[in-house]
Chain A
């Protein structure tokens, strides 16, 4: 192999790469928040009384989980203008990430909710608590605690998925890398470095989510 590595373009573009990292983390964070909202809302509807809504959520989950993210983000990119939102890569990416992560979150959270003992809810009712209070404190919080590890790994996956948002040129690390690569043709150096940056970011996200979890769910169970 007589290829001379040249990390010059990578070093020159390093500030840009750092901004790209921030873009990625921003996308990931917004996507996660949207996903958790869709997840909780979806579980409420999925196990609710209205049958058509239950079917709707079921269909939503199956469709999203069995089609590629790339196709979803293209679809949303071209569908949003119909909803009156002009082509905006970043908003497209956040919505797509939220929808994709939300479908997985619904399944995960639902598993947690089903693990809650019925007696707990009945105890809450017997104490005369309101339904919304019962759902929030007796069902949702312990359920989230039970499934927190799987939710964490799903969210790390979501962070990695943001790289696909470069397909609609949302501002994040991969699209920054593409720009540096097309200016310098140092593909291997650029993508090798960026791979390590992603590794660091996925560890960072895991660390943050774990410490948040141990703070928020820091109470004895029995």
Chain B
């Protein structure tokens, strides 16, 4: 595999490097990937609010403060020098405006200073591509579940198509808000999702909660309200509530994933995004994959949460297929939908 570098000479893919910056929400992360998919660095700093959810401006301030340090760590870890880079990729959307803009500013500065091309990457597509890279999946039906997204997607004719998604809030958001309402505290290495998962393991009683599936779409807002009301009543153990919340919401996304799998007849199921780290959800998706003779692929946890490596790798893929984002067109896209993006790096022949 060879690529055209800006240096006007052909370079080996394994010796071309793309640096990726991820800053859509509460994480600022930098990854470095070769053009043939070897991840050389993936460094991160997480913004943890004292209380409440992510305050976009506060998160952006955090990103600006740590950018230098996270970048340096990535260079040290990978042993790559800035002048060795062939492209700078950044998460261009969807996400929180102030956070995205901070990452984009760092990316623009680096690209102009190093005189290398800039590549804007769609955050959702990056989650799918890193999942494929790390698990070897080629053409999966994907369940992408995180704090900001709940999407069932699959590739068809040049783009990823959305088969189902949440009609209101994201699954990860539902779990996070519930955890906050319960007065739980997250810390580095132990996000809300992991805390709820741990509590749920000690749950035994299934408390009825609204189960809302509409075709391949889901809805979590009513369920969240019901769960929070039960919590405030104080009649149930928190462990049982966490268990019921997980079992009900996970059953919903598993049902729609199975529906998409039956509909698309894909032979692989990929689980990606922050909530993909949950072992219970993994076991449910694995069960339906097996039932449909499809391979189950779960992205490793390091690459499940928002990470720079996925931006670097997707940027490399895009750049190898001629995609460059001129600086004057590198404005961030807060509501950039997955199916708006052409993905020329997937050959039609591999995926019908």
Do A and B interact with each other, yes or no? Answer: no
